C-alpha cells in the first residue's frame, strides 16, 4: 500500500505540473446574445468547401449573430439562407469573436451548395496560357478564371 500511495502522489504532482503549463494557454470564451462571431469550418482533405480546396481554403465563415445561449458551452447562431442544411447550435470552441462592423463583410456568394457544404467548381474562361521551359522538359501553365 505504501508503494501505491507513493505512485499516486508522484502522478498527482506530475499532473499538477502539466496542468500549470496547459492553463497558461487556456482562455475562457464567453459570448453574449446579439454579438457577432465567425464560425470555424472543419477541414476534410480533397473536399471543396466555401470557395477553395485544401490548404488555402477558408478557416472561418461569417460573421453570424448569436441568437441564444444553449447550456454552458453551446450557442445558437442566426445562419444565412445558404446554410439551411447545417444545424444552428455550435460549441464555443468553433466560434471566434468578430471585431468590427458586420456590414463591412460580404455575404457568402450564393452558389449551389450541397448538403455536405460542397459545390462543383466550373471554369469560366482561360485568361492566359504559356509554356515554361525547364532544364529537361517543358511545362504548360494555364491561368483559369
**pLDDT tens for residues 58-73?**
778 878 899 999 988 8
DSSP letter, residue 54: G
Domain region containing 55:
36-119
- Three-state DSSP class for residue 81: helix
Q: Give the distance between the most distant pair of CA atoms in the chain.
A: 78
**Looking at residues 21-33, what average pLDDT do you find?**
83
Instruction: Judge whether 57 lies within some domain.
Output: yes
Q: What is the pLDDT of residue 46?
A: 53
Instruction: Judge whether 30 lies within some domain.
Output: no
Is the pLDDT at 134 greater than 60? The verdict is yes
Q: What is the pLDDT of residue 22?
A: 84
pLDDT in tens, 100-132: 876 776 555 545 556 666 666 777 888 899 998
Answer whether 34's CB lies under 8 Å from 65's CB.
Answer: yes
Instruction: Judge whether 76 lies within some domain.
Output: yes
Q: Into how many domains does the chain fold?
A: 1
> What are φ and ψ of residue 92, in 5° steps?
-60, -25
Distance of CA 25 to the CA centre of its chain: 19
Instruction: Judge whether 25 lies within some domain.
Output: no
Residue with cell 445558404: 82
**Looking at residues 19-44, what average pLDDT do you find?**
82
Query: 117 or 97: whose pLDDT is higher?
Result: 97
**Looking at residues 17-35, what average pLDDT do you find?**
85
Instruction: Judge whether 19 lies within some domain.
Output: no
**Looking at residues 35-45, what average pLDDT do you find?**
76
Element (H, E) at 140: strand 138-144
Answer whether 143's CB lies under 8 Å from 129's CB.
Answer: yes
Instruction: Judge whether 108 lies within some domain.
Output: yes
Q: What is the pLDDT of residue 126?
A: 87
Instruction: Judge whether 64 lies within some domain.
Output: yes
Q: What is the pLDDT of residue 40?
A: 83
Q: What is the pLDDT of residue 36?
A: 92
Amino acid at each position: 500500500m505504501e508503494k501505491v500511495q507513493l505512485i499516486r502522489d508522484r502522478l498527482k504532482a506530475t499532473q499538477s505540473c502539466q496542468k500549470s503549463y496547459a492553463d497558461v494557454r487556456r482562455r475562457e470564451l464567453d459570448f453574449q446574445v446579439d454579438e457577432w462571431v465567425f464560425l470555424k469550418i472543419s477541414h476534410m482533405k480533397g473536399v471543396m468547401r466555401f470557395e477553395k480546396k485544401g490548404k488555402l481554403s477558408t478557416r472561418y465563415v461569417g460573421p453570424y449573430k448569436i441568437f441564444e445561449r444553449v447550456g454552458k458551452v453551446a450557442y445558437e447562431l442566426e445562419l444565412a439562407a445558404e446554410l439551411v442544411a447545417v444545424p444552428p447550435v455550435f460549441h464555443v470552441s468553433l466560434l471566434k469573436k468578430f471585431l468590427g462592423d458586420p456590414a463591412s463583410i460580404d455575404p457568402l456568394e450564393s452558389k449551389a451548395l450541397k448538403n455536405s457544404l460542397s459545390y462543383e467548381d466550373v471554369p469560366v474562361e482561360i485568361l492566359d496560357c504559356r509554356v515554361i521551359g525547364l532544364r529537361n522538359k517543358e511545362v504548360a501553365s494555364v491561368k483559369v478564371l
